[in-house]
């Protein structure tokens, strides 16, 4: 049962577990790609987060993750911790957030609009949001080896975790990954005895500070570091392979307790050299 609280303006009830029989895709779940012109400074013919028509949840793909690893994102200005959005402290990971940078495919105008539309549907038509996401995954299940939430953005409220957990249970063959800085939402979710974390869903608690591991006791974590790799961590290999995951899937692997992401030392000299998006 998808969790929706009475009195919160949402429709109480839930999604039904649906048949796995392959059907012709409704227009809502059709995927699209943008062909990028040569000379634009972007990589031609690479899958990116694109804008779906209004009223449709956008599940995108990035060249970093790979074609078999779709992702869903929200705007940072609506879902991230308010002090993090304008963060410019070189010791804070939010300073280097992809969602603040311009000149990258992830922040093309269509991608930004898609994230805003995703959030609008989530807030105003919550039941529709989860049904559309369920339908997209159902239709694309054969081509989906992994699923990630929040290449950009974070958990908007604790109900999101309840529902994302239900989605994971509906698709037990697909590993799901949620990275988050929202310790409060995570704690309240885990304290609910009736909500057991799906075996194929991993929630990684990210450390907000560079070179520090979040002191909160939690089984799966991630951090960003400079210099020597932290002891007991798994080093993300993407910086050695064109910023792509390729055949690595450690972030989805529950056997890997701590992921360590190397931070480019050039970004640590003086003030962070990050050009911000105009909407931040």
Q: Is the pTM of this model over 0.75?
A: yes
pLDDT at 229: 95
pLDDT at 151: 94
Question: How big is the CA angle at 76 (ends 124 and 189), to the nearest 5 degrees?
Answer: 70
What whole-number distance in Å separates Cα of residue 177 and Cα of residue 60?
15
Q: What is the pLDDT of residues 58-69, one digit of tens each?
A: 999 888 899 999
Could you list the mean pLDDT of each consecutive 10-residue stretch along the chain, which spans 280 residues? 38 39 36 32 37 76 91 95 76 88 84 95 97 96 96 95 96 97 92 83 96 90 95 95 94 97 63 40
Q: What is the pLDDT of residues 12-28, one digit of tens each?
A: 334 444 333 333 333 33
Per-residue buried b or exposed e for 106-136, using 16+ beta carbons within 10 Å of the residue's own CB: bbbebbbbbbbbbbebbeebbbbbbbbbbbb
Strands 176-180 and 147-149: parallel
What whole-number distance in Å separates Cα of residue 37 and Cα of residue 28?
27
pLDDT at 49: 40
pLDDT at 26: 37
Phi/psi of residue 173, nearest 5 degrees: -85, -10
Cβ burial, residue 172 (10 Å; 0-12/13-18/19+):
exposed
CA-wise closest residue to 40 among 101, 103, 112:
103
Cβ burial, residue 238 (10 Å; 0-12/13-18/19+):
middle
Three-state SS at 45: coil
CA-wise closest residue to 146 among 197, 201, 105:
201
What whole-number distance in Å separates Cα of residue 57 and Cα of residue 201?
21
pLDDT at 43: 35
Q: Which stretches of the chain are DSSP H helices?
A: 76-79, 82-85, 109-124, 126-140, 158-170, 183-191
pLDDT at 172: 97
Kindly state the tokens that stand for 44.
């031609």
pLDDT at 199: 96
DSSP string, 199-244: TTEEEEEEPSBTT----S--SSEEEEE-SSPPTTPEEP-GGGTTT-
Query: Which DSSP letter does residue 60 get?
Result: B
Residue 3 CB: number of other CB atoms within 10 A? 20
List beta partners, residue 101. 276
């Amino acid at each position: 049962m998808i969790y929706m609280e009475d009195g919160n303006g949402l429709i109480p009830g839930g999604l039904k577990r649906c048949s796995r029989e392959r059907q012709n895709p409704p227009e809502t779940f059709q995927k699209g790609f943008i062909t990028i012109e040569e000379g634009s400074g972007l990589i031609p013919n690479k899958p990116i987060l694109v804008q779906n028509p209004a009223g449709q949840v956008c599940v995108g793909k990035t060249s970093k993750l790979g074609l078999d690893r779709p992702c869903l994102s929200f705007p940072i200005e609506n879902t991230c911790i308010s002090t993090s959005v304008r963060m410019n402290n070189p010791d804070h990971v939010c300073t280097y957030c992809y969602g603040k940078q311009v000149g990258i495919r992830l922040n093309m105008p269509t991608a930004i609009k898609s994230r805003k539309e995703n959030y609008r549907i989530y807030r105003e038509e919550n039941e529709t949001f989860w049904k559309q996401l369920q339908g997209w995954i159902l239709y694309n299940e054969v081509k989906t080896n992994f699923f990630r939430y929040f290449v950009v953005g974070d958990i908007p409220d604790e109900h999101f975790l309840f529902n994302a957990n239900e989605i994971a249970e509906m698709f037990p063959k697909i590993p799901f990954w949620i990275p988050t800085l929202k310790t409060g939402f995570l704690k309240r979710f885990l304290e609910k005895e009736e909500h057991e974390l799906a075996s194929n869903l991993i929630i990684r608690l990210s450390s907000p500070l560079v070179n520090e591991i979040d002191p909160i006791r939690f089984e799966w974590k991630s951090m960003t570091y400079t210099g020597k790799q932290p002891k007991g961590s798994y080093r993300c290999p993407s910086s050695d392979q064109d910023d792509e995951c390729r055949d690595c899937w450690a972030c989805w692997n529950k056997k890997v307790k701590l992921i360590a992401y190397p931070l480019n030392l050039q970004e640590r000299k003086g003030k962070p050299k990050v050009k911000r998006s105009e909407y931040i």
